[in-house]
């Protein structure tokens, strides 16, 4: 499989290494010096995109014009997703998007949704999310934390919205976002009562899990039409 990398920072280089280990070839690399534009040339079977939120829509539009399936790992652009979804369907294109491509994180998210569903029956427990990332991470809360919060809200009758670092009422789900030097990405869900605390935690040791998941998504995307997430890739129901 030939892969076009859109974005060649630390994540792009990790994807390149793991793709090569799985027998794939990086046939094109696009970055700030060689941007991915409508007239860009590539013989790739699929594109993997990790750049900036302000660039994502343009990259997806270009992939649609080139009939190139695209896997998008950039976060904080989901306000455009309804419009993009309509255009992907209308042009018979393919988009796989996720706030986090890690296999472990996606299993963790399903466990958190199951926990939220169970805890609806036990109102004495208050749910909350803590996420910790390195100082260079631009978005706060993380896209993964927002996805986790969305899953909890959809599965728990008390919570209607999430709130960053403070809550104003009982229907707010607290997300505590911390930025510290030299730390792995960590997400923890807590269900706390006056008697005890139940917690689920995912801690990333390196970028390899995210890169592997993105490559699995790229393998899935080839030949597909429509908009998909990692639940489709990993067959999580």
Q: What residues contact 230, with CB distance under 8 A and at least 6 apart?
A: 96, 98, 100, 101, 106, 213, 217, 236
Is 225 tagged catalytic? Answer: no
C-alpha distances (whole Å) from 233 to each of 65, 121, 207, 218 are: 24, 31, 19, 9
Q: Read off the tokens for 14.
A: 């990790």
Distance from C-alpha of 99 to C-alpha of 126, rounded to nearest angstrom: 25
**Sheet containing 186-192, strands listed edge to edge, beginning at the edge strand earlier in sequence:** 161-164, 172-180, 126-134, 186-192, 197-203
Catalytic residue among 13, 117, 137, 224: 137
Torsion (CA) 41, 45, 49, 55 in degrees, nearest 10: 40
Q: What residues contact 91, with CB distance under 8 A and at least 6 apart?
A: 64
Distance from C-alpha of 129 to C-alpha of 151, rounded to nearest angstrom: 12
Q: Read off the tokens for 237.
A: 């129901």
Is 13 tagged catalytic? Answer: no
Backbone phi, psi, residue 146, to 5°: -65, -40
Backbone phi, psi, residue 169, to 5°: -155, 175
Catalytic residue among 133, 156, 187, 202: 133
SS3 187: strand
The set of catalytic residues is: 133, 137
């Amino acid at each position: 499989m030939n892969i076009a990398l859109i974005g060649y920072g630390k994540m792009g280089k990790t994807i390149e290494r793991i793709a090569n280990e799985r027998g794939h070839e990086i046939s094109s690399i696009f970055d700030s010096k060689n941007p991915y534009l409508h007239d860009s040339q590539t013989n790739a079977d699929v594109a993997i995109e990790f750049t900036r939120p302000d660039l994502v829509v343009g990259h997806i539009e270009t992939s649609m014009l080139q009939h190139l399936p695209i896997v998008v790992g950039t976060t904080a652009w989901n306000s455009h997703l309804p419009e993009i979804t309509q255009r992907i369907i209308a042009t018979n294109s393919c988009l796989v998007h996720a706030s986090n491509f890690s296999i472990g994180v996606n299993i963790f998210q399903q466990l958190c949704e199951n926990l939220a569903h169970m805890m609806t029956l036990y109102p004495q427990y208050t749910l909350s999310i803590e996420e910790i990332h390195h100082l260079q991470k631009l978005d706060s809360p993380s896209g993964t934390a927002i996805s986790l919060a969305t899953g909890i809200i959809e599965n728990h009758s008390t919570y209607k919205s999430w709130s960053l670092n403070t809550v104003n009422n009982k229907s707010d789900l607290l997300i505590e976002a911390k930025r510290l030097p030299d730390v792995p990405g960590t997400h923890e869900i807590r269900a706390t009562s006056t008697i005890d605390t139940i917690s689920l935690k995912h801690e990333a040791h390196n970028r390899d899990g995210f890169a592997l998941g993105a490559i699995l998504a790229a393998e899935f995307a080839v030949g597909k039409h429509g908009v998909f997430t990692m639940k489709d890739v990993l067959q999580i129901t």
